[in-house]
């Protein structure tokens, strides 16, 4: 077992003050450095592209309507349509099989029912797309609500300290100790029928505790820094100091944690809908689809695979984006020095 502990050649660690690092960040603003680091994170970039294209694809499929401005969507079926079950090309016992084909050839493309049809004949592609819409909406709303509450509570507690801090943090303790799944089930069961956004709002109201603790921690240390004193001397109000001076410095922690909350939110919503405490029929959600069709796995496997895969794709890409952001915002981050960089550094020292 000695191989476990054999020290391997460590990646060359370069002093962060050395030329190779300075050259990279010279003359760049904080935001530019973060952006540069984020773009270099391959996993995060791929995930970002996947997520954006998935969102565009999902929302354009069935169309949407915001404030009266609507777009009909490019897909021919709605979730309520009941086209006849497709028998051509399927085995006789199993009509309505998927037509999606990724192998270049005659049938390449989406076809008539790319994800197949359920036992009633409803187009499963439309159902999954509607479910994905719901999941993304829930994810965004929970993220926004949790971010807003977490930032405001954490900022106030950390900035004002003292009694305000103690009171708010006891309240946060209180929120954190409520088991999310239990309260989510109770709220979802009673209010789930009022619409998916309502449900998301409630779930957002119970998932901000951890974020506010982190924001408070950041504010406690940032408020002692010189630039805050400078702002105060210049006559800035408390509100201005909080939002214009301290908050931008704490934004890294916030963004990273909001992405984590969001990837958790999508699984939470799916789990609640699966248990029957979330989105209720006739509305559609990915968790609900899985619970409705899990028994047909042996007969119609396509009804089971797609919703799960979409959940995984969304959650995985959000997680990777979060990881990329964490690396990008982390000032201590030491990049692995590639051979190319080392060659560049050697050249630089040779020139000197």
Partner 1 sequence: MIAYISRRIAAMFVILFGSSFLIYNADAYAGDPTEGLRGSTNPQAHQKLIALIRELHLNVPPPARYFIWLKGILKVFTGHIDLGLTRDHSPVSTAISNAIPITIRLILSSFILAVLFGIGFGIVSALRQYSRFDYAMTFFAFLMYSLPIFWVAVLLKEYLAISFNNFLLNGKIAPLWILSAAAVSGVFWAAVISGSRRRVFSIFAVAGAATAFFLWYLSISKWFTHPGLGPVVMLVLGLGFGVGTTYLSTGITNKAALRSSVAVVLIGFALYFPVEYFLKKDASLITIIIMLALSIAIATGVSYFFTKIDRRPVVRTSIITSILVGILFIIDKLMKTWVPYINSDAIHQRPIPTISEANSLLPSGNFWFSSLDTVLHLILPTIALVLITMAAYLRYSRGTMLEVLNQDYIRTARAKGLPERTVIMRHAFRNTLIPITTVLVVDFAGIMGGAIITENVFGWHGMGTLLNQAIHGQDLNLLMGVFLFTAALIIMANLVADLLYSALDPRIRVVGKK
Query: For partner 1, which is the closer residue by CB, 29 or 177?
Result: 177
Contact code string over 195-224 relative to partner 1, x by CB under 8 A: ------------------------------
Q: Count the residues of the shown chain that bind partner 1, applying the rule CB under 8 A.
A: 51
Candidates 25-33, 101-109, 169-177, 219-227 — which segment interacts with partner 1 by CB under 8 A? 169-177
**Least gap, CB of 32 to partner 1 (angstroms):** 25
Residue 265 touching partner 1 (CB under 8 A): no
Binder of partner 1 out of 29, 80, 177, 347 (CB under 8 A): 177
Answer yes or no whether residue 179 interacts with partner 1 by CB under 8 A.
yes
What's the distance, CA 34 to chain centroid?
19
Q: Which two tokens stand for residue 56?
A: 């565009």
- CB burial string 166-176: b at 16+ within 10 A, e below: eebbeebeebb
Report the alpha-carbon distance of residue 258 to residue 181 in Å, rounded: 19
Q: How many CB atoms lie within 10 A of CB 302?
A: 21
Rounded to 5 degrees, what are φ and ψ at 183?
Answer: -70, -35
Q: How many CB atoms lie within 10 A of CB 261?
A: 24
Say if residues 235 and 244 touch (Cβ distance below 8 Å).
Answer: no
174 binds partner 1 (CB under 8 A): yes
Binding status of residue 187 toward partner 1 by CB under 8 A: yes
Sites for partner 1 among residues 282-341 (CB under 8 A): 287, 290-291, 294, 297-298, 304, 307-308, 311-312, 315-316, 319-320, 323, 336
- Give counts: helices (H), strands (E), the chain: 14, 2
> Does 103 sit near partner 1 (CB under 8 A)?
no
162 close to 224: Cβ distance less than 8 angstroms: no
74 sits near partner 1 (criterion: CB under 8 A): no
What span, in angstroms and rounded, lies between the C-alpha atoms of 229 and 246? 11
The footprint of partner 1 (CB under 8 A) covers 1-8, 10-11, 43, 170, 173-174, 177-179, 181-183, 185-187, 189-191, 263, 267, 270-271, 274-277, 287, 290-291, 294, 297-298, 304, 307-308, 311-312, 315-316, 319-320, 323, 336
């Amino acid at each position: 077992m000695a191989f476990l502990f054999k020290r391997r050649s460590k990646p060359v660690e370069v002093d962060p003050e050395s030329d190779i690092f300075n050259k990279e960040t010279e003359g760049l603003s904080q935001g530019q450095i973060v952006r540069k680091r984020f773009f270099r994170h391959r996993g995060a970039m791929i995930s970002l592209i996947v997520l954006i294209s998935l969102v565009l694809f999902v929302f354009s499929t069935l169309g949407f309507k915001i404030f009266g401005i609507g777009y009909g969507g490019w897909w021919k079926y709605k979730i309520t349509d009941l086209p006849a079950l497709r028998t051509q090309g399927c085995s006789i016992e199993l009509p309505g099989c998927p037509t999606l084909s990724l192998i270049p050839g005659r049938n390449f493309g989406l076809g008539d029912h790319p994800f197949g049809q359920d036992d009633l004949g409803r187009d499963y592609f439309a159902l999954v797309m509607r479910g994905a819409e719901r999941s993304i909406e829930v994810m965004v709303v929970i993220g926004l609500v949790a971010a807003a509450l977490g930032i405001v509570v954490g900022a106030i507690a950390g900035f004002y300290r003292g009694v305000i801090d103690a009171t708010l943090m006891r309240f946060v303790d209180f929120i954190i100790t409520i088991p999310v799944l239990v309260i989510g089930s109770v709220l979802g069961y009673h209010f789930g029928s009022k619409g998916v956004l309502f449900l998301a709002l409630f779930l957002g109201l119970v998932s901000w505790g951890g974020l506010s603790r982190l924001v408070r921690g950041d504010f406690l240390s940032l408020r002692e820094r010189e630039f805050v004193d400078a702002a105060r001397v210049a006559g800035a109000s408390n509100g201005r100091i909080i939002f214009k001076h301290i908050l931008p410095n704490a934004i890294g922690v916030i963004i990273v944690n909001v992405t984590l909350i969001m990837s958790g939110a999508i699984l939470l919503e799916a789990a609640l809908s699966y248990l029957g405490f979330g989105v209720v029929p006739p509305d559609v959600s990915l968790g609900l689809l899985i619970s409705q069709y899990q028994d047909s796995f042996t007969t119609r496997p396509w009804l089971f695979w797609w919703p799960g895969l979409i959940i995984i794709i969304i959650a995985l890409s959000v997680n990777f984006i979060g990881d990329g952001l964490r690396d990008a915002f982390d000032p201590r981050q030491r990049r692995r020095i590639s051979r190319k960089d080392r060659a560049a550094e050697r050249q630089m020292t040779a020139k000197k």
